[in-house]
A and B are shown apart, each in its own frame.
Chain A
Amino acid sequence: MRRNNVRAAAEPLLFIMPCILVLGAFVYYPLVQNLAFSFFRFSAFSPEKVFVGFGNYANLFLDKTVGTALRNNARYAVISVLCQVCFGLVLAAILEDRSFRRVGQLFRTTFFLPVVISISVICLLFGFIYRPMDGLLNGFLELVGLGSLARPWLGSSKTAIFATIAVSQWQSTGYVMMLFIVAIQKIPEELYEAAEIDGASKLRRFFVITLPQVREMFFVTSVITVTGSVMVFNEPYILTQGGGPGTSSITIAVHMYQSGFFKDMMGYASTLAVLIFGISAALAVLQLRSFRTGEE
Protein backbone atom coordinates (compact mmCIF):
# COMPACT_ATOMS: atom_id res chain seq x y z
CA MET A 1 0.00 0.00 0.00
CA ARG A 2 2.67 2.43 1.01
CA ARG A 3 4.79 1.50 -1.95
CA ASN A 4 1.85 2.28 -4.20
CA ASN A 5 1.60 5.72 -2.67
CA VAL A 6 5.23 6.41 -3.32
CA ARG A 7 4.83 5.27 -6.88
CA ALA A 8 1.75 7.41 -7.37
CA ALA A 9 3.61 10.44 -6.06
CA ALA A 10 6.68 9.73 -8.17
CA GLU A 11 4.84 9.14 -11.40
CA PRO A 12 4.09 12.74 -12.34
CA LEU A 13 7.68 13.62 -11.50
CA LEU A 14 8.96 11.19 -14.11
CA PHE A 15 7.07 13.13 -16.77
CA ILE A 16 7.89 16.57 -15.49
CA MET A 17 11.47 16.27 -14.30
CA PRO A 18 13.37 16.15 -17.62
CA CYS A 19 11.85 19.45 -18.69
CA ILE A 20 12.31 21.06 -15.27
CA LEU A 21 15.93 19.95 -15.07
CA VAL A 22 16.84 21.38 -18.48
CA LEU A 23 15.03 24.62 -17.65
CA GLY A 24 16.72 24.81 -14.28
CA ALA A 25 20.21 24.11 -15.56
CA PHE A 26 20.21 26.20 -18.73
CA VAL A 27 17.73 29.01 -18.04
CA TYR A 28 17.27 29.63 -14.31
CA TYR A 29 20.77 28.76 -13.13
CA PRO A 30 22.45 31.11 -15.65
CA LEU A 31 19.96 33.81 -14.68
CA VAL A 32 20.88 33.59 -10.99
CA GLN A 33 24.55 33.29 -11.83
CA ASN A 34 24.32 36.39 -13.99
CA LEU A 35 22.95 38.33 -11.04
CA ALA A 36 25.88 37.14 -8.93
CA PHE A 37 28.39 37.98 -11.66
CA SER A 38 27.18 41.55 -11.74
CA PHE A 39 28.86 42.16 -8.37
CA PHE A 40 32.28 41.03 -9.59
CA ARG A 41 35.00 42.13 -11.93
CA PHE A 42 36.42 39.29 -14.00
CA SER A 43 37.80 38.21 -17.33
CA ALA A 44 36.61 35.39 -19.54
CA PHE A 45 40.08 33.90 -19.56
CA SER A 46 40.90 33.75 -15.87
CA PRO A 47 39.00 32.05 -13.07
CA GLU A 48 39.81 34.87 -10.65
CA LYS A 49 36.90 37.13 -9.69
CA VAL A 50 37.19 40.37 -7.72
CA PHE A 51 34.19 41.39 -5.63
CA VAL A 52 33.28 45.01 -6.38
CA GLY A 53 29.90 45.28 -4.67
CA PHE A 54 27.72 47.77 -6.50
CA GLY A 55 30.71 49.15 -8.41
CA ASN A 56 29.46 47.89 -11.75
CA TYR A 57 26.06 49.41 -11.08
CA ALA A 58 27.66 52.76 -10.27
CA ASN A 59 29.52 52.54 -13.57
CA LEU A 60 26.21 52.24 -15.41
CA PHE A 61 25.61 55.87 -14.52
CA LEU A 62 29.09 57.02 -15.50
CA ASP A 63 29.08 55.19 -18.82
CA LYS A 64 27.86 57.59 -21.50
CA THR A 65 27.27 54.73 -23.93
CA VAL A 66 24.49 53.41 -21.67
CA GLY A 67 22.58 56.64 -22.18
CA THR A 68 23.09 56.53 -25.96
CA ALA A 69 22.04 52.90 -26.05
CA LEU A 70 18.94 53.40 -23.92
CA ARG A 71 17.92 56.34 -26.09
CA ASN A 72 18.30 54.21 -29.20
CA ASN A 73 16.28 51.40 -27.61
CA ALA A 74 13.59 53.97 -26.77
CA ARG A 75 13.59 55.20 -30.38
CA TYR A 76 13.23 51.61 -31.48
CA ALA A 77 10.27 51.14 -29.17
CA VAL A 78 8.42 54.31 -30.16
CA ILE A 79 8.89 53.86 -33.91
CA SER A 80 8.06 50.14 -33.70
CA VAL A 81 4.81 50.75 -31.84
CA LEU A 82 3.79 53.45 -34.31
CA CYS A 83 4.76 51.52 -37.41
CA GLN A 84 4.17 47.89 -36.48
CA VAL A 85 1.26 48.14 -34.06
CA CYS A 86 -0.68 51.18 -35.33
CA PHE A 87 0.06 50.77 -39.01
CA GLY A 88 -0.19 46.96 -38.71
CA LEU A 89 -3.69 47.31 -37.31
CA VAL A 90 -4.77 49.64 -40.11
CA LEU A 91 -3.33 47.22 -42.65
CA ALA A 92 -5.16 44.30 -41.06
CA ALA A 93 -8.44 46.22 -40.99
CA ILE A 94 -8.09 47.12 -44.68
CA LEU A 95 -7.25 43.58 -45.76
CA GLU A 96 -10.14 42.17 -43.72
CA ASP A 97 -12.56 44.68 -45.24
CA ARG A 98 -15.03 43.02 -47.61
CA SER A 99 -13.98 45.16 -50.56
CA PHE A 100 -10.44 43.90 -50.29
CA ARG A 101 -11.08 40.27 -49.37
CA ARG A 102 -10.49 39.04 -52.89
CA VAL A 103 -7.06 40.66 -53.23
CA GLY A 104 -6.35 40.41 -49.52
CA GLN A 105 -4.78 36.97 -49.66
CA LEU A 106 -2.00 38.05 -52.01
CA PHE A 107 -1.11 41.13 -49.94
CA ARG A 108 -1.30 39.19 -46.71
CA THR A 109 1.10 36.50 -47.91
CA THR A 110 3.52 39.04 -49.32
CA PHE A 111 3.54 41.28 -46.25
CA PHE A 112 4.16 38.23 -44.08
CA LEU A 113 7.04 36.87 -46.19
CA PRO A 114 9.84 38.94 -44.55
CA VAL A 115 8.89 37.41 -41.21
CA VAL A 116 10.05 33.97 -42.30
CA ILE A 117 13.37 35.19 -43.68
CA SER A 118 16.39 35.00 -41.44
CA ILE A 119 17.46 38.32 -39.98
CA SER A 120 21.01 37.91 -41.27
CA VAL A 121 19.75 37.55 -44.84
CA ILE A 122 17.62 40.65 -44.36
CA CYS A 123 20.47 42.66 -42.89
CA LEU A 124 22.78 41.67 -45.75
CA LEU A 125 20.02 42.67 -48.18
CA PHE A 126 19.67 46.08 -46.56
CA GLY A 127 23.43 46.41 -46.60
CA PHE A 128 23.06 46.43 -50.39
CA ILE A 129 20.03 48.70 -50.30
CA TYR A 130 21.85 51.29 -48.18
CA ARG A 131 25.15 51.26 -50.10
CA PRO A 132 26.14 54.92 -50.64
CA MET A 133 27.22 54.81 -54.31
CA ASP A 134 25.44 51.89 -55.91
CA GLY A 135 22.74 51.09 -53.38
CA LEU A 136 19.11 50.57 -54.32
CA LEU A 137 17.75 53.33 -52.08
CA ASN A 138 19.99 56.12 -53.38
CA GLY A 139 19.58 54.73 -56.89
CA PHE A 140 15.82 54.92 -56.54
CA LEU A 141 15.95 58.46 -55.15
CA GLU A 142 17.99 59.59 -58.14
CA LEU A 143 15.63 57.77 -60.50
CA VAL A 144 12.63 59.74 -59.24
CA GLY A 145 14.50 63.03 -59.14
CA LEU A 146 15.10 63.20 -55.41
CA GLY A 147 18.84 62.69 -55.75
CA SER A 148 19.49 65.49 -53.26
CA LEU A 149 18.06 63.26 -50.51
CA ALA A 150 20.60 60.52 -51.21
CA ARG A 151 23.12 60.04 -48.45
CA PRO A 152 25.32 57.36 -46.84
CA TRP A 153 22.48 56.00 -44.73
CA LEU A 154 24.55 53.72 -42.52
CA GLY A 155 27.71 55.78 -42.63
CA SER A 156 26.32 58.92 -41.06
CA SER A 157 25.84 59.04 -37.32
CA LYS A 158 22.62 61.02 -37.84
CA THR A 159 20.85 58.45 -39.99
CA ALA A 160 22.45 55.13 -39.00
CA ILE A 161 20.10 54.38 -36.13
CA PHE A 162 16.99 55.25 -38.13
CA ALA A 163 18.15 53.23 -41.12
CA THR A 164 18.65 50.31 -38.73
CA ILE A 165 15.22 50.77 -37.17
CA ALA A 166 13.63 50.84 -40.63
CA VAL A 167 14.93 47.33 -41.30
CA SER A 168 13.05 45.97 -38.29
CA GLN A 169 9.87 47.69 -39.43
CA TRP A 170 10.27 46.20 -42.88
CA GLN A 171 10.60 42.75 -41.40
CA SER A 172 8.08 42.75 -38.57
CA THR A 173 5.09 44.85 -39.60
CA GLY A 174 3.65 41.84 -41.43
CA TYR A 175 3.85 39.75 -38.28
CA VAL A 176 1.89 42.19 -36.15
CA MET A 177 -0.55 42.65 -39.03
CA MET A 178 -1.17 38.90 -39.02
CA LEU A 179 -1.85 38.92 -35.27
CA PHE A 180 -4.45 41.64 -35.82
CA ILE A 181 -6.00 39.76 -38.76
CA VAL A 182 -6.50 36.75 -36.47
CA ALA A 183 -8.06 39.03 -33.85
CA ILE A 184 -10.35 40.77 -36.35
CA GLN A 185 -11.56 37.44 -37.73
CA LYS A 186 -12.84 36.58 -34.26
CA ILE A 187 -15.14 39.63 -34.15
CA PRO A 188 -18.77 38.54 -34.68
CA GLU A 189 -20.00 39.59 -38.13
CA GLU A 190 -23.33 40.66 -36.58
CA LEU A 191 -21.69 43.68 -34.99
CA TYR A 192 -20.69 45.01 -38.38
CA GLU A 193 -24.09 44.21 -39.89
CA ALA A 194 -25.87 46.09 -37.14
CA ALA A 195 -23.60 49.09 -37.55
CA GLU A 196 -24.09 49.08 -41.29
CA ILE A 197 -27.85 49.04 -40.89
CA ASP A 198 -27.44 52.04 -38.60
CA GLY A 199 -25.65 53.72 -41.47
CA ALA A 200 -22.20 53.84 -39.94
CA SER A 201 -19.41 54.56 -42.42
CA LYS A 202 -16.41 52.24 -42.78
CA LEU A 203 -14.21 54.64 -40.86
CA ARG A 204 -16.76 54.86 -38.08
CA ARG A 205 -17.15 51.08 -37.96
CA PHE A 206 -13.39 50.82 -37.54
CA PHE A 207 -13.42 53.15 -34.54
CA VAL A 208 -16.57 51.90 -32.79
CA ILE A 209 -16.28 48.15 -33.49
CA THR A 210 -12.85 46.99 -34.67
CA LEU A 211 -10.75 49.10 -32.35
CA PRO A 212 -12.56 48.24 -29.07
CA GLN A 213 -12.81 44.56 -30.07
CA VAL A 214 -9.06 44.18 -30.69
CA ARG A 215 -8.11 46.20 -27.59
CA GLU A 216 -6.62 43.12 -25.95
CA MET A 217 -4.50 42.27 -28.98
CA PHE A 218 -3.43 45.89 -29.26
CA PHE A 219 -2.03 45.69 -25.76
CA VAL A 220 -0.34 42.33 -26.33
CA THR A 221 1.31 43.41 -29.58
CA SER A 222 2.49 46.66 -27.99
CA VAL A 223 4.14 44.78 -25.16
CA ILE A 224 5.71 42.25 -27.54
CA THR A 225 7.02 45.03 -29.74
CA VAL A 226 8.43 47.08 -26.88
CA THR A 227 10.04 43.96 -25.36
CA GLY A 228 11.58 43.22 -28.76
CA SER A 229 12.92 46.77 -28.88
CA VAL A 230 14.66 46.35 -25.53
CA MET A 231 16.50 43.30 -26.81
CA VAL A 232 17.50 44.46 -30.30
CA PHE A 233 20.87 43.00 -31.16
CA ASN A 234 21.08 41.53 -34.66
CA GLU A 235 20.36 44.59 -36.77
CA PRO A 236 22.96 46.98 -35.30
CA TYR A 237 25.44 44.11 -34.89
CA ILE A 238 25.31 43.20 -38.58
CA LEU A 239 24.38 46.47 -40.32
CA THR A 240 26.52 49.00 -38.51
CA GLN A 241 29.32 46.71 -37.30
CA GLY A 242 28.17 46.87 -33.71
CA GLY A 243 26.46 50.23 -33.40
CA GLY A 244 28.58 52.55 -35.53
CA PRO A 245 29.53 55.12 -36.64
CA GLY A 246 31.08 55.55 -33.21
CA THR A 247 28.34 54.48 -30.84
CA SER A 248 25.56 56.32 -32.67
CA SER A 249 23.42 53.25 -33.40
CA ILE A 250 24.39 51.09 -30.41
CA THR A 251 21.72 49.32 -28.37
CA ILE A 252 21.94 48.02 -24.84
CA ALA A 253 22.31 44.39 -25.99
CA VAL A 254 25.13 45.27 -28.39
CA HIS A 255 26.82 47.26 -25.64
CA MET A 256 26.58 44.22 -23.37
CA TYR A 257 28.09 42.00 -26.05
CA GLN A 258 30.96 44.38 -26.69
CA SER A 259 31.69 44.99 -23.02
CA GLY A 260 31.81 41.25 -22.38
CA PHE A 261 33.38 39.74 -25.43
CA PHE A 262 35.53 42.56 -26.84
CA LYS A 263 36.59 44.55 -23.81
CA ASP A 264 36.53 41.42 -21.64
CA MET A 265 34.68 43.17 -18.83
CA MET A 266 32.45 40.21 -18.06
CA GLY A 267 31.21 41.55 -14.74
CA TYR A 268 30.11 44.85 -16.23
CA ALA A 269 28.44 43.03 -19.13
CA SER A 270 26.50 40.96 -16.59
CA THR A 271 25.34 44.20 -15.00
CA LEU A 272 24.06 45.38 -18.38
CA ALA A 273 22.29 42.03 -18.71
CA VAL A 274 20.60 42.64 -15.35
CA LEU A 275 19.44 46.00 -16.71
CA ILE A 276 17.93 44.29 -19.78
CA PHE A 277 16.37 41.69 -17.52
CA GLY A 278 14.82 44.32 -15.27
CA ILE A 279 13.18 46.16 -18.15
CA SER A 280 11.96 43.07 -19.99
CA ALA A 281 10.70 41.35 -16.82
CA ALA A 282 8.60 44.39 -15.97
CA LEU A 283 7.12 44.28 -19.46
CA ALA A 284 6.53 40.53 -19.21
CA VAL A 285 4.58 40.97 -15.98
CA LEU A 286 2.40 43.49 -17.79
CA GLN A 287 1.86 40.96 -20.57
CA LEU A 288 1.00 38.08 -18.21
CA ARG A 289 -1.47 40.30 -16.42
CA SER A 290 -3.15 41.10 -19.72
CA PHE A 291 -3.47 37.39 -20.45
CA ARG A 292 -5.21 36.93 -17.15
CA THR A 293 -7.69 39.72 -17.76
CA GLY A 294 -8.29 38.17 -21.18
CA GLU A 295 -9.45 34.93 -19.56
CA GLU A 296 -11.91 36.52 -17.22
Chain B
Amino acid sequence: MRPYSQRRPGRDSLGPAQLPVLALLLVGFAMVAYPLFWIMMSSLKTSDEISLSMWSLPRVPQWRNYANAWKFGISGYFVNSLVVTLTTIAGVIALASLCAYGLSRFRTRWTRSALVFVMGGMMLNPQVCLIPLYGLLTRLGIRNGYLAMIIPYIAFRLPLNTLLIRSFFLAIPKEIEESAIIDGCTSFQAYGRIFMPMSRPILFTSAILIAYYAWNEFLFAIIFIDSNKYRTIPAGLMSFRDALQVDWGPLIAGMAISALPLILFFIAAQKQFIRGMTAGSVKG
Protein backbone atom coordinates (compact mmCIF):
# COMPACT_ATOMS: atom_id res chain seq x y z
CA MET B 1 0.00 0.00 0.00
CA ARG B 2 1.31 3.37 -0.93
CA PRO B 3 1.49 5.98 1.81
CA TYR B 4 -1.67 7.98 2.14
CA SER B 5 0.05 11.17 1.16
CA GLN B 6 0.93 9.86 -2.29
CA ARG B 7 -2.58 8.81 -3.19
CA ARG B 8 -4.14 12.24 -3.07
CA PRO B 9 -1.60 14.50 -4.69
CA GLY B 10 -3.96 17.44 -5.07
CA ARG B 11 -4.61 17.91 -1.37
CA ASP B 12 -1.04 17.64 -0.15
CA SER B 13 0.59 20.64 -1.70
CA LEU B 14 0.71 24.03 -0.10
CA GLY B 15 -2.43 25.91 -1.07
CA PRO B 16 -3.59 29.43 -0.28
CA ALA B 17 -5.36 28.09 2.81
CA GLN B 18 -1.99 27.27 4.32
CA LEU B 19 -0.44 30.67 3.64
CA PRO B 20 -1.14 32.31 7.03
CA VAL B 21 0.31 29.31 8.85
CA LEU B 22 3.30 29.28 6.55
CA ALA B 23 3.85 32.96 7.25
CA LEU B 24 3.85 32.26 10.99
CA LEU B 25 6.32 29.41 10.50
CA LEU B 26 8.59 31.75 8.58
CA VAL B 27 8.47 34.29 11.42
CA GLY B 28 9.52 31.52 13.80
CA PHE B 29 12.20 30.46 11.36
CA ALA B 30 13.60 33.99 11.30
CA MET B 31 13.50 34.25 15.10
CA VAL B 32 15.58 31.09 15.44
CA ALA B 33 17.80 31.29 12.40
CA TYR B 34 18.68 34.99 12.39
CA PRO B 35 20.44 35.07 15.79
CA LEU B 36 22.48 32.04 14.74
CA PHE B 37 23.30 33.72 11.44
CA TRP B 38 24.17 36.86 13.39
CA ILE B 39 26.77 34.93 15.39
CA MET B 40 28.43 33.68 12.21
CA MET B 41 28.29 37.12 10.62
CA SER B 42 29.49 39.09 13.64
CA SER B 43 32.32 36.66 14.29
CA LEU B 44 33.89 38.06 11.11
CA LYS B 45 33.44 41.73 12.00
CA THR B 46 35.51 44.24 13.92
CA SER B 47 34.18 45.31 17.31
CA ASP B 48 33.23 48.73 15.94
CA GLU B 49 31.22 47.18 13.15
CA ILE B 50 29.41 44.89 15.60
CA SER B 51 28.37 47.86 17.70
CA LEU B 52 27.69 50.49 15.03
CA SER B 53 26.33 48.57 12.06
CA MET B 54 24.75 45.51 13.60
CA TRP B 55 22.67 44.51 10.56
CA SER B 56 25.26 44.76 7.83
CA LEU B 57 27.54 42.06 6.51
CA PRO B 58 31.22 42.27 7.44
CA ARG B 59 33.01 44.72 5.18
CA VAL B 60 36.24 42.76 5.25
CA PRO B 61 35.93 39.29 6.85
CA GLN B 62 38.08 39.35 9.98
CA TRP B 63 39.33 35.79 10.02
CA ARG B 64 41.86 36.81 12.63
CA ASN B 65 38.99 36.91 15.17
CA TYR B 66 39.04 33.12 15.02
CA ALA B 67 42.82 32.97 15.22
CA ASN B 68 42.75 35.34 18.21
CA ALA B 69 39.97 33.45 19.98
CA TRP B 70 41.89 30.24 19.51
CA LYS B 71 45.12 31.83 20.75
CA PHE B 72 43.55 33.65 23.73
CA GLY B 73 42.37 30.43 25.31
CA ILE B 74 39.58 28.73 23.38
CA SER B 75 42.06 26.08 22.21
CA GLY B 76 42.70 25.05 25.82
CA TYR B 77 39.00 24.99 26.70
CA PHE B 78 38.33 23.02 23.55
CA VAL B 79 40.89 20.36 24.44
CA ASN B 80 39.53 20.21 28.01
CA SER B 81 35.98 19.75 26.73
CA LEU B 82 37.18 17.01 24.42
CA VAL B 83 39.04 15.18 27.21
CA VAL B 84 36.13 15.46 29.65
CA THR B 85 33.47 14.51 27.09
CA LEU B 86 35.31 11.47 25.68
CA THR B 87 36.28 10.15 29.11
CA THR B 88 32.73 10.59 30.37
CA ILE B 89 31.34 8.71 27.37
CA ALA B 90 33.79 5.84 27.87
CA GLY B 91 33.11 5.69 31.62
CA VAL B 92 29.35 5.75 31.37
CA ILE B 93 29.18 3.24 28.52
CA ALA B 94 31.47 0.81 30.34
CA LEU B 95 29.78 0.98 33.74
CA ALA B 96 26.23 1.26 32.42
CA SER B 97 26.51 -1.63 29.96
CA LEU B 98 28.12 -3.92 32.57
CA CYS B 99 25.37 -3.10 35.01
CA ALA B 100 22.68 -3.42 32.34
CA TYR B 101 24.00 -6.88 31.48
CA GLY B 102 23.89 -7.92 35.11
CA LEU B 103 20.40 -6.51 35.55
CA SER B 104 18.96 -8.10 32.43
CA ARG B 105 20.59 -11.56 32.55
CA PHE B 106 20.41 -12.48 36.21
CA ARG B 107 17.22 -12.48 38.21
CA THR B 108 17.94 -12.54 41.90
CA ARG B 109 16.78 -10.59 44.89
CA TRP B 110 19.96 -8.52 44.58
CA THR B 111 19.47 -7.54 41.00
CA ARG B 112 15.89 -6.48 41.66
CA SER B 113 16.98 -4.16 44.48
CA ALA B 114 19.81 -2.89 42.31
CA LEU B 115 17.34 -2.01 39.57
CA VAL B 116 15.27 0.05 42.00
CA PHE B 117 18.47 1.73 43.19
CA VAL B 118 19.41 2.69 39.64
CA MET B 119 15.91 3.89 38.79
CA GLY B 120 15.83 6.00 41.93
CA GLY B 121 18.92 7.79 40.65
CA MET B 122 16.84 9.19 37.79
CA MET B 123 14.96 11.28 40.32
CA LEU B 124 18.00 13.01 41.73
CA ASN B 125 19.33 16.15 40.16
CA PRO B 126 22.86 17.48 40.39
CA GLN B 127 21.94 20.67 42.26
CA VAL B 128 20.71 18.78 45.28
CA CYS B 129 24.12 17.15 45.70
CA LEU B 130 26.16 20.24 44.87
CA ILE B 131 27.38 21.24 48.32
CA PRO B 132 28.26 17.77 49.66
CA LEU B 133 29.92 16.92 46.33
CA TYR B 134 32.05 20.04 46.62
CA GLY B 135 33.24 18.86 50.02
CA LEU B 136 33.65 15.26 48.92
CA LEU B 137 35.74 16.15 45.86
CA THR B 138 37.87 18.47 48.00
CA ARG B 139 38.51 15.71 50.55
CA LEU B 140 39.40 13.26 47.79
CA GLY B 141 41.87 15.84 46.50
CA ILE B 142 40.42 15.82 43.00
CA ARG B 143 38.55 19.12 43.03
CA ASN B 144 39.87 21.58 40.45
CA GLY B 145 40.93 18.92 37.96
CA TYR B 146 39.48 16.84 35.15
CA LEU B 147 38.20 14.19 37.57
CA ALA B 148 36.10 16.77 39.41
CA MET B 149 33.94 16.97 36.32
CA ILE B 150 34.33 13.48 34.90
CA ILE B 151 33.34 11.52 38.01
CA PRO B 152 30.16 13.47 38.83
CA TYR B 153 29.19 13.52 35.14
CA ILE B 154 29.56 9.74 34.97
CA ALA B 155 27.62 9.23 38.19
CA PHE B 156 24.69 11.42 37.12
CA ARG B 157 24.49 9.92 33.61
CA LEU B 158 24.52 6.30 34.84
CA PRO B 159 20.85 5.80 35.79
CA LEU B 160 19.33 6.88 32.48
CA ASN B 161 21.88 5.11 30.29
CA THR B 162 21.82 1.90 32.33
CA LEU B 163 18.04 1.75 31.87
CA LEU B 164 18.27 2.52 28.15
CA ILE B 165 20.90 -0.16 27.53
CA ARG B 166 19.11 -2.64 29.78
CA SER B 167 15.90 -2.34 27.78
CA PHE B 168 17.91 -3.12 24.63
CA PHE B 169 19.65 -6.10 26.26
CA LEU B 170 16.29 -7.49 27.39
CA ALA B 171 15.23 -7.74 23.75
CA ILE B 172 18.23 -9.90 22.79
CA PRO B 173 17.01 -13.54 22.62
CA LYS B 174 18.18 -15.74 25.46
CA GLU B 175 19.07 -18.57 23.03
CA ILE B 176 21.99 -16.64 21.61
CA GLU B 177 23.56 -16.31 25.01
CA GLU B 178 22.76 -19.89 26.02
CA SER B 179 24.39 -21.39 22.94
CA ALA B 180 27.47 -19.27 23.57
CA ILE B 181 27.67 -20.51 27.16
CA ILE B 182 27.36 -24.11 25.92
CA ASP B 183 30.24 -23.42 23.57
CA GLY B 184 32.29 -22.54 26.62
CA CYS B 185 31.90 -18.76 26.81
CA THR B 186 31.96 -17.22 30.26
CA SER B 187 29.26 -14.66 30.89
CA PHE B 188 31.87 -11.93 30.69
CA GLN B 189 32.80 -13.13 27.22
CA ALA B 190 29.13 -13.27 26.26
CA TYR B 191 28.86 -9.66 27.37
CA GLY B 192 31.93 -8.50 25.49
CA ARG B 193 31.67 -10.55 22.32
CA ILE B 194 27.92 -10.88 21.81
CA PHE B 195 25.93 -8.26 23.69
CA MET B 196 28.15 -5.25 23.12
CA PRO B 197 28.58 -5.71 19.35
CA MET B 198 24.88 -6.44 18.93
CA SER B 199 23.93 -3.29 20.82
CA ARG B 200 25.78 -0.75 18.71
CA PRO B 201 22.65 1.29 17.90
CA ILE B 202 21.69 1.88 21.53
CA LEU B 203 25.31 2.46 22.54
CA PHE B 204 25.55 5.12 19.85
CA THR B 205 22.34 6.71 21.10
CA SER B 206 23.74 6.72 24.63
CA ALA B 207 27.03 8.18 23.46
CA ILE B 208 25.19 11.07 21.80
CA LEU B 209 23.14 11.75 24.92
CA ILE B 210 26.25 11.72 27.09
CA ALA B 211 28.24 13.88 24.68
CA TYR B 212 25.44 16.44 24.61
CA TYR B 213 25.39 16.57 28.39
CA ALA B 214 29.13 16.64 29.00
CA TRP B 215 29.88 19.16 26.25
CA ASN B 216 27.32 21.63 27.58
CA GLU B 217 27.35 21.07 31.35
CA PHE B 218 27.78 24.35 33.21
CA LEU B 219 26.99 24.13 36.94
CA PHE B 220 29.67 21.65 38.04
CA ALA B 221 32.12 23.06 35.52
CA ILE B 222 32.12 26.53 37.09
CA ILE B 223 31.86 25.48 40.74
CA PHE B 224 34.29 22.56 40.95
CA ILE B 225 36.96 24.18 38.77
CA ASP B 226 38.89 27.28 39.89
CA SER B 227 41.82 27.17 37.55
CA ASN B 228 41.58 28.32 33.97
CA LYS B 229 43.73 25.37 32.99
CA TYR B 230 40.91 22.85 33.42
CA ARG B 231 37.91 24.88 32.29
CA THR B 232 35.68 23.39 29.64
CA ILE B 233 34.15 25.54 26.92
CA PRO B 234 30.88 26.56 28.66
CA ALA B 235 32.72 27.73 31.80
CA GLY B 236 35.71 29.00 29.85
CA LEU B 237 33.55 31.31 27.77
CA MET B 238 32.64 33.16 30.96
CA SER B 239 36.25 33.98 31.83
CA PHE B 240 36.82 34.66 28.14
CA ARG B 241 34.09 37.29 28.27
CA ASP B 242 35.55 38.90 31.37
CA ALA B 243 39.04 38.94 29.90
CA LEU B 244 38.07 40.36 26.50
CA GLN B 245 35.75 43.10 27.83
CA VAL B 246 34.63 44.97 24.69
CA ASP B 247 36.80 43.09 22.21
CA TRP B 248 33.70 41.44 20.81
CA GLY B 249 35.04 39.98 17.57
CA PRO B 250 37.14 37.24 19.19
CA LEU B 251 34.45 36.62 21.82
CA ILE B 252 31.80 35.93 19.19
CA ALA B 253 34.28 33.86 17.20
CA GLY B 254 34.85 31.87 20.40
CA MET B 255 31.09 31.37 20.72
CA ALA B 256 30.98 30.06 17.16
CA ILE B 257 33.87 27.68 17.78
CA SER B 258 32.07 26.33 20.88
CA ALA B 259 28.77 25.80 19.12
CA LEU B 260 29.99 24.36 15.83
CA PRO B 261 31.08 20.81 16.81
CA LEU B 262 27.67 19.80 18.13
CA ILE B 263 25.82 21.60 15.32
CA LEU B 264 27.87 19.77 12.68
CA PHE B 265 27.47 16.51 14.56
CA PHE B 266 23.73 17.09 14.78
CA ILE B 267 23.37 17.82 11.08
CA ALA B 268 25.51 14.82 10.13
CA ALA B 269 23.76 12.31 12.39
CA GLN B 270 20.37 13.96 12.71
CA LYS B 271 18.34 10.77 12.87
CA GLN B 272 20.38 9.15 15.63
CA PHE B 273 20.68 12.45 17.43
CA ILE B 274 16.93 12.97 17.58
CA ARG B 275 16.36 9.36 18.53
CA GLY B 276 18.81 9.75 21.38
CA MET B 277 17.46 13.05 22.62
CA THR B 278 13.86 11.88 22.56
CA ALA B 279 14.66 8.48 24.10
CA GLY B 280 16.25 10.32 26.99
CA SER B 281 13.44 12.81 27.50
CA VAL B 282 15.79 14.62 29.83
CA LYS B 283 16.42 18.23 29.33
CA GLY B 284 19.39 20.19 30.58
Using a CB–CB cutoff of 8 Å, the interface residues on chain A facing chain B are 9, 11-16, 18-20, 22-31, 33-34, 37, 44, 91, 94, 98-103, 107, 109-121, 124-125, 128-129, 134, 136, 139, 143, 170, 172, 174-175, 178-179, 182, 189, 192-193, 220, 224-225, 227-228, 231, 233-234, 238, 253, 256-257, 260-261, 266, 269-270, 273-274, 276-277, 280-281, 284-285, 288
Contact = CB atoms under 8 A, between A and B. Distances in A.
B131 A273 contact: yes
17 contacts: A11-B187, A15-B187, A18-B99, A20-B118, A23-B117, A31-B124, A100-B14, A103-B22, A110-B33, A125-B39, A128-B38, A170-B31, A175-B277, A182-B278, A189-B4, A277-B125, A280-B128
The 3 closest A-B pairs by CB, nearest first: A15-B102, A19-B99, A12-B106
A143 B13 CA distance: 35
Contacts of B282: 224
Contacts of B29: 107, 110-111
B218 A119 contact: yes
Contacts, number: 267
B133 to A, nearest CB: 5
Given A22-B158, A220-B281, A231-B127, A119 B134 contact: no
Nearest to A238: B238
Given A117-B263, A120-B237, A129-B35, A11 B106 contact: yes
B155 A99 contact: no
Contact of B255 (A19, A25, A113, A125): A125
Given A13-B110, A228-B283, 20 more contacts: A12-B106, A15-B99, A16-B110, A26-B151, A27-B155, A33-B135, A37-B132, A100-B18, A102-B14, A103-B22, A111-B32, A115-B277, A118-B216, A119-B216, A120-B237, A121-B259, A179-B281, A257-B130, A273-B130, A285-B123
A224 B159 CA distance: 16
Interface residues on B, range: 35 or more
B155 A23 contact: yes
A200 to B, nearest CB: 14
B283 to A, nearest CB: 5
A278 to B, nearest CB: 9
Contact of B12 (A30, A98, A107, A227): A98
Interface in B129-143: 129-136
A272 B55 CA distance: 44
Interface of B: 3-5, 11-15, 18, 21-22, 25, 28-29, 31-33, 35-36, 38-39, 42, 51-52, 54-55, 95-96, 98-99, 101-103, 105-106, 108, 110-111, 114, 117-119, 121-125, 127-136, 151-152, 154-156, 158-159, 162, 187-188, 191, 212, 215-216, 218-219, 223, 233-235, 237-238, 241, 248, 251-252, 255, 258-259, 262-263, 265-267, 270, 273-274, 277-278, 281-284
